[in-house]
Amino acid sequence: MPLQYLDFDYSEDDDGVGTWDAMASVTPAHLPALRAELENVLCWAHRAFAGQRAPLDEGGEWDFDLQTLHEGAAPDQWHYDETSGRITVAPGADGQTRHTVTLSLSGTAAFGAALRERFGLD
């Protein structure tokens, strides 16, 4: 599945830890496709590096942060469920016009190489 909504920017710290940050802002009509893309990336990471997600400074191989912002109405609450591999959404008020999602992945060189290969990232 090629990534259509998540366009990752890469940075690296002095210890060689890589961070991939992506932001997508979509209308409600495109939200299911964005959720599917997010789920694809997070499911891959949880499968490919099973049991290795933890803060990197605590010995983890990779970690992630998922944030959302909604224009107009009360924000939805998004949560990735590792067991089901799905993102669940508790809806906010009606009338939202845009959903902005940020996903940050951080990881070791091995995680970064696998991520780049799987999703064709530069």
pLDDT digits (tens, 9 = 90+) for 77-121: 788 988 999 998 876 656 557 889 999 999 999 999 999 999 999
Residue 94 confidence (pLDDT) = 60
Q: How confident is the model at residue 15 (pLDDT cuts 50, 70, 90)?
A: confident
Selection from 48, 47, 54 nearest residue 113 by Cα? 48
Residue 99 confidence (pLDDT) = 87
Q: Are 111 and 61 in contact (CB under 8 A)?
A: yes
> Is the overall model pTM greater than 0.85, yes or no?
no
Q: How many CB atoms lie within 10 A of CB 61?
A: 19
Which ranges of 72-120 would DSSP assign to H, the alpha helix? 109-119
Selection from 54, 101, 120 nearest residue 82 by Cα? 54
